[in-house]
Amino acid sequence: MGQYERAIDFYEQSLKITREVGDRVGEGNALGNLGSVYESLSQYERALEQYGQAVTLFNELGVPAEEAQTLSNIGKLLNDRDQPELAITFLKASVDIREAIRGEIRTLDADLQQTFTDTIAADYRLLAELLLQADRVLEAQEILDLLKLQELDDYQLRNVRGTDETEDGIAFWPAEQEILDRFYDALETDTDLQTFFASGEITEQVAQLQRNARGQNLNPDQLAKLQDNLQQAGNAALLYPLILDDRLELVLVTTTGLTRRTVPLDRVELNRVIAAFRADITNRSRDPRPNGQQLYDWLIAPLVADLEAAGAKTILYAADGSLRYIPLAALHDGDQWLTDRFTINHITAASLTDFSQAEAAPLSILAGAFPAQALVIDVAGEQRWFNGLPFAQQEVENLQTNLPGTVAFFSAGFNRQAIEPRLEDHTIIHLATHGTFRSGHPNDSFILLGDGDRITLFDLDQWQLPNASLVVLSACETAVSGPELGTGEEILGFGYQIQRTGARAAIASLWTVSDGGTQALMDAFYLALQNGYSKTEALQRAQQALIADDLALVGGEGTVRAIARPTAEDGRALGADALPGYSHPYYWAPFILIGNGL
């Protein structure tokens, strides 16, 4: 409320009480909160004093989460005072501690988190921004990767695990480590922190960072390993966008180099175009190409020369924020769709991705189909109507016909008791059913079974799919819960939870799809798989087949409309610039592949 003097009075009372009752963690929190208020009043010296006392106490007590939060606050204060090298150092120290304790189920009290910052992920985002501004691109890529994990934590998925790489912590330049060592020494001797940061010793370490860190790779072996992984993935390129208030930062890693491009762009304008493009591709009567080309100009055009120079054929895409609500494949360069040029893998994070190419395995499918009739389901006390899916029945019947040995369950027979004991026995789990993925809480996101039962994102914790190369949700949607786009954490969460089951990849949709169009796409997709294409290539070729109405692109014969003729609604005229048949992205673009589709 901006009543800072009253806030100080209350926090000082809190500090006195916590000291009287011996609540030392509470004492540290009160000190940190006082630091935040003094920082708001631009009383930086007093803010540093309070933060320093809090760090000392938390370090002594061995409460790393609280220590990490206070180090982060010091980093933000130093950034506000235009000391980016010092800000990066303390933000990195904060992230390093948080990654070390990721495996523990331990967080700050929610109210205290809100006092310090909206989300912990915001600290990771600021650190990535500062590293990019300093042209420390590889370090920024590492933090962007860790940001995905922290966003999952903020989404309240339980016990989000890192990898061996993240558990090892992040690397520090020698000058950064020297600054941190001297900082803790200063705390032990009660040195005034304002004087400490202005001292000649610290000024010299900052000068070293300015000379040595800008434009350099802290860990060349890390880059070499990442590039080897991309080569193993079939000459792929790794794309990380970062949405900031006044620009879009693009980080591209290829087998031949590391690139950073900055696109001046207001966040509000970007979100406006994302929303407009999403409206275009979810409405068959609209032409999505103009907005698709605008997004292409922002996201891909600045990197085309780098992609071509590296000979990249696949884009591994770690989307950020509201960009998660649109399929990269449907961007348009003025002549063709992006899916005509690249295979596209959406990934949660590079550190969570297995880059190896899987050995060919038989297509052993477990399939379930939602009823042809509508069901009314109770969802958290609300009666929700889910349309019947007659084409889903046909879709699964086609799998049985074309892929002998497919085990299929229909309508009410598609239930937990039928499918869960068999999940480990198949390489593909195909669920032709509704799914709703909403921002807010993982329990609000679920897959609907044929008997009306629901599998929430939390429930996926219990699934074990060690033999599954792919999980397909062929009639699902990722709903936007309100007029404003969210951050897409529900999409990120779904991809992560599927990976935790042991499955290599998942296919799901970004909007409520056409029942008939989905049958056409899935028939083409499985035909491509039968003809030896990888999962990513099969999805790309199925998309191209719908665009061109030509099954030869998936190794078949004839037209797509011969296997799934558009309904009167699907085939209606779209105006002078009509995209006939199934060539509109509404039909072929909603499905994205998350994980390893190689």
pTM, two decimals, is 0.85
Contact 515, 391 (CB under 8 A): yes
Lowest-confidence pick of 144-153, 231-240, 500-509: 144-153
At 553 the pLDDT is 94
- pLDDT grade for 150, boundaries at 50, 70 and 90: confident
Distances from the Cα of 567 to the Cαs of 299, 404, 564, in angstroms? 35, 29, 9
Cα gap 331→319, rounded to integer Å:
14
pLDDT in tens, 463-522: 888 888 899 988 666 544 444 556 667 777 777 788 788 888 888 888 877 777 888 898
At 296 the pLDDT is 98
Cα gap 554→523, rounded to integer Å:
10
- The dihedrals phi and psi of 37, each to the nearest 5 degrees, come to -70, -45
Residue with tokens 């400490």: 196
- The dihedrals phi and psi of 160, each to the nearest 5 degrees, come to -65, 125
Cα gap 261→303, rounded to integer Å:
8
At 456 the pLDDT is 84
| In the predicted structure, residue 363 carries a pLDDT above the cut 80 | yes
* Residue 366 tokens, joined: 């477990």
Sheet holding 446-448, edge to edge: 435-436, 446-448, 454-456
At 428 the pLDDT is 93
pLDDT in tens, 256-275: 999 999 999 999 999 999 99
At 224 the pLDDT is 87
Q: What is the mean pLDDT of residues 104-115?
A: 45
- SS (HEC) of 518-572: HHHHHHHHHHHHHCCCCHHHHHHHHHHHHHHCCHHHHCCCCCHHHCCCCCCCCCC
pLDDT in tens, 546-590: 999 999 999 988 888 877 655 544 444 333 344 667 899 999 999
Cα angle 122, 188, 43 (rounded to 5 degrees) comes to 50
Count of beta carbons in the 10 Å neighbourhood of residue 311? 11
Q: What is the mean pLDDT of residues 239-262?
A: 94
Cα–Cα nearest to 296, from 255, 349, 342? 342
Cα–Cα nearest to 126, from 219, 243, 264? 243
How many CA atoms, within 13 angstroms, populate the side-chain half-sphere of residue 213? 26
At 571 the pLDDT is 44
Which amino acid makes up residue 46? R
Cα gap 406→429, rounded to integer Å:
10
| In the predicted structure, residue 244 carries a pLDDT above the cut 80 | yes
At 76 the pLDDT is 96
At 117 the pLDDT is 39
**How does the average pLDDT of the chain come out, rounded?**
86
- Most distant CA pair in the chain, distance: 82
Number of helices (H), then strands (E), in the chain: 22, 16
Contact 496, 160 (CB under 8 A): yes
Cα–Cα nearest to 447, from 509, 500, 529, 355? 509
Q: Which residues of 225-240 are buried (b: 16+ CB within 10 A; e: fewer)?
A: ebbebbeebbebbbbb
Q: Mind listing the domains of the chain with CATH numbers?
A: 4-212 (1.25.40.10), 220-352 (3.30.420), 365-595 (3.40.50)
Residue with tokens 């209606």: 572
